[in-house]
A and B are shown apart, each in its own frame.
Chain A
């Protein structure tokens, strides 16, 4: 198989593929996963590292908006469920940092990129959580959107990422159900509770729709990523799936989606919907969302305030190791 591939270089401007490149391409074509020890093109490694580390950062920063409400959860059971959820997100961050580390970049370096503001994370977490209903709405919409985004990626070409996502997706679907349950309880509760649920939907709808990224017509990295199978569906396809899934759920809850253009299109079998405010999207990506600075500040403070603790743990481990060596000697 190896020689056969070498004999069949990619056509074009007469530039022969390297043997490694040919093997890589063949694996991609035949949907055989790429593993850390396999050769891979630099651009593939870089793109993946960016994608996985951004995903990990999103899990970590994503702890903050909902973490805000742990202290105020309105029942002890809800408090437990929310703590467990935010804890799961920390776990997702860890699996994903581990997956990203297999590409050769240590976690510290990724953390540094996040804290310095060089690395991005999902813009959705730069919106504020203003009421308890936001906690339910985030579970319902944001975890719901994450699932739609990530389920296909459990079949992506990079083995460690695909495997991490299998675990992540299982937990995200719990989060989504729990979030929906909160919203449903509020929507069917007192008029005040219902109004709170509607208000949260009004604020979170469009940011959730924008979670899938810019429209396909403006998306730069799509084509290569799709060829590499680290992106399997286009932004607009995923977005449509999200809208189609969510609209009937909102109707069942008696809540109104804040989009006057939303209607079911018999001819396509899909919901047609309005255009999000893409200017807002780009503003938030560039750092000008309601909470960008607060989120990063919170992460930096946790990191800086924790430095002496990490130093102590390291110093203690070194002392122990030294004592063990001198005992053994």
Chain B
């Protein structure tokens, strides 16, 4: 793959680490809203586990981004003092929690992609990237299994649950295109062996998704027009609210330590 010559390696790695960190953080923030409100107490525990893993991973990526940037921004500077237009998460993760089926489908589509991506990044020629990916992929292997199990349970459950999970799938499918569409940053990191070819993730992703959808008796939506923009900071209306809430204490009260 050719390396776009005008993107300096650290600048590309900075952006790339933000994308991974922001996606994990925003999704972790979303699912943590279920804590205390899940359908059964066992799900309070399980959803919180996933949120804990994702926010933990976000810290690692954001710390790496800050180190690479070298401007003295730590994980919290990056998490709490950037506005929506500076966030680099994929749009899928900022979609609202909706009902339990919406949450599960969003999770399943993301987890599957996240798993294959991290698996490849585990052999990144940047040791820092490889280290974070190898640690994270073990956690995400569990996330994929869990969200896939729920898609099957809801799909092959009652008529109502099947209707809801199919609706969620139809609604969220147009947000999956962005996951596999590399831009110059992605090409810059992939070309240097730091990242990987995002387009090549689609085939194993689709194979796994199809398998689960078959078990769930669900129909895969047709590929049509796809949303994009998250990775370059053009977000949906939802992200601003999420960040306003997340950053409110940190930004409104003076204090160096929390």
| Residues on A facing B (Cβ under 8 Å) | 60, 63-64, 67, 70-80, 83-84, 86-87, 90-91, 93-94, 97, 132, 185-186, 189-190, 192-193, 196, 298, 301-302, 305-313, 315-316, 319
B52 at the interface (CB under 8 A from A): yes
User: In the complex, what residue of chain A is closest to B47 when comparing beta carbons?
Assistant: A87
The answer to whether A302 touches B36, judged by C-beta atoms less than 8 angstroms apart, is: yes
Known: A90-B44, A305-B99, A312-B153. A72 touches B245 (CB 8 A): yes
Known: A189-B256, A308-B164, A309-B39. A315 touches B33 (CB 8 A): no
The answer to whether B35 touches A306, judged by C-beta atoms less than 8 angstroms apart, is: no
Contact of A83 among B48, B76, B99, B255 (CB under 8 A): B48
User: In the complex, what residue of chain A is closest to B59 when comparing beta carbons?
Assistant: A76
B80 at the interface (CB under 8 A from A): yes
Q: Could you tell me the distance between the alpha carbons of A186 and B258 in the complex, rounded to whole angstroms?
A: 7
B228 at the interface (CB under 8 A from A): no
The answer to whether B55 touches A190, judged by C-beta atoms less than 8 angstroms apart, is: no
Q: Could you tell me the distance between the alpha carbons of A79 and B32 in the complex, rounded to whole angstroms?
A: 10
User: In the complex, what residue of chain B is closest to A302 when comparing beta carbons?
Assistant: B37
**Residue with the highest number of chain A CB atoms closer than 10 Å, among B43, B75, B157:** B157
The answer to whether B253 touches A90, judged by C-beta atoms less than 8 angstroms apart, is: no
Contact of B36 among A72, A78, A298 (CB under 8 A): A298
The answer to whether A192 touches B37, judged by C-beta atoms less than 8 angstroms apart, is: no
Q: Could you tell me the distance between the alpha carbons of A90 and B48 in the complex, rounded to whole angstroms?
A: 10
Q: Could you tell me the distance between the alpha carbons of A90 and B160 in the complex, rounded to whole angstroms?
A: 28
The answer to whether A80 touches B55, judged by C-beta atoms less than 8 angstroms apart, is: yes
Shortest A321–chain B CB gap in Å is: 13
Q: Could you tell me the distance between the alpha carbons of A93 and B45 in the complex, rounded to whole angstroms?
A: 11
Contact of A63 among B35, B40, B154, B249 (CB under 8 A): B35
The answer to whether B45 touches A87, judged by C-beta atoms less than 8 angstroms apart, is: yes
A91 CB contacts on chain B under 8 angstroms: 45
Contact of A306 among B39, B56, B79 (CB under 8 A): B39
Shortest A142–chain B CB gap in Å is: 16
Shortest B148–chain A CB gap in Å is: 13
Contact of B157 among A77, A185, A192, A315 (CB under 8 A): A315
- B194-209: CB near A (< 8 Å → 1, else 0) gives 0000000000000000
The answer to whether B80 touches A87, judged by C-beta atoms less than 8 angstroms apart, is: no
A315 CB contacts on chain B under 8 angstroms: 157-158, 161
The answer to whether B76 touches A75, judged by C-beta atoms less than 8 angstroms apart, is: yes
The answer to whether A87 touches B44, judged by C-beta atoms less than 8 angstroms apart, is: yes
Q: Could you tell me the distance between the alpha carbons of A311 and B45 in the complex, rounded to whole angstroms?
A: 19
The answer to whether B52 touches A84, judged by C-beta atoms less than 8 angstroms apart, is: yes
B76 CB contacts on chain A under 8 angstroms: 75-76
B29 at the interface (CB under 8 A from A): yes
List 28 A–B pairs whose Cβ atoms lie within 8 Å, in order of A's numbering: A67-B36, A70-B35, A71-B32, A71-B245, A74-B249, A74-B253, A74-B255, A75-B258, A79-B55, A83-B48, A90-B45, A91-B45, A94-B45, A97-B41, A132-B253, A185-B257, A186-B255, A190-B254, A190-B255, A190-B256, A192-B255, A193-B255, A306-B38, A308-B158, A308-B160, A309-B43, A310-B40, A313-B153
B257 CB contacts on chain A under 8 angstroms: 185, 189
The answer to whether B55 touches A76, judged by C-beta atoms less than 8 angstroms apart, is: yes
The answer to whether A132 touches B249, judged by C-beta atoms less than 8 angstroms apart, is: yes
The answer to whether A302 touches B38, judged by C-beta atoms less than 8 angstroms apart, is: yes
The answer to whether B156 touches A90, judged by C-beta atoms less than 8 angstroms apart, is: no
The answer to whether A306 touches B253, judged by C-beta atoms less than 8 angstroms apart, is: no
Shortest B14–chain A CB gap in Å is: 18
Q: Could you tell me the distance between the alpha carbons of A190 and B255 in the complex, rounded to whole angstroms?
A: 5
**Residue with the highest number of chain B CB atoms closer than 10 Å, among A60, A79, A91, A312:** A312
The answer to whether A80 touches B255, judged by C-beta atoms less than 8 angstroms apart, is: no
A309 CB contacts on chain B under 8 angstroms: 39-40, 43, 100, 154, 161
The answer to whether A196 touches B253, judged by C-beta atoms less than 8 angstroms apart, is: yes
The answer to whether B59 touches A77, judged by C-beta atoms less than 8 angstroms apart, is: yes
- B242-253: CB near A (< 8 Å → 1, else 0) gives 000110111001
A76 CB contacts on chain B under 8 angstroms: 25, 55, 58-59, 62, 75-76, 79
Q: Could you tell me the distance between the alpha carbons of A185 and B249 in the complex, rounded to whole angstroms?
A: 15
B39 CB contacts on chain A under 8 angstroms: 302, 305-307, 309-310
Q: Could you tell me the distance between the alpha carbons of A80 and B24 in the complex, rounded to whole angstroms?
A: 13
Shortest B133–chain A CB gap in Å is: 19
B255 CB contacts on chain A under 8 angstroms: 74, 186, 189-190, 192-193
Shortest A291–chain B CB gap in Å is: 13
Q: Could you tell me the distance between the alpha carbons of A319 and B217 in the complex, rounded to whole angstroms?
A: 13
The answer to whether A312 touches B32, judged by C-beta atoms less than 8 angstroms apart, is: no
18 more CB-based (< 8 A) A-B contacts, given A67-B37, A97-B41, A189-B256: A64-B36, A71-B245, A74-B249, A74-B258, A76-B76, A79-B32, A79-B55, A86-B35, A86-B48, A87-B35, A90-B35, A189-B257, A189-B258, A193-B254, A308-B160, A309-B43, A311-B157, A311-B158
Shortest A106–chain B CB gap in Å is: 14
The answer to whether A316 touches B152, judged by C-beta atoms less than 8 angstroms apart, is: yes
User: In the complex, what residue of chain B is closest to A313 when comparing beta carbons?
Assistant: B153
B42 at the interface (CB under 8 A from A): yes
The answer to whether B29 touches A63, judged by C-beta atoms less than 8 angstroms apart, is: no
B253 CB contacts on chain A under 8 angstroms: 74, 132, 190, 192-193, 196
User: In the complex, what residue of chain A is closest to B163 when comparing beta carbons?
Assistant: A308
A190 CB contacts on chain B under 8 angstroms: 253-256
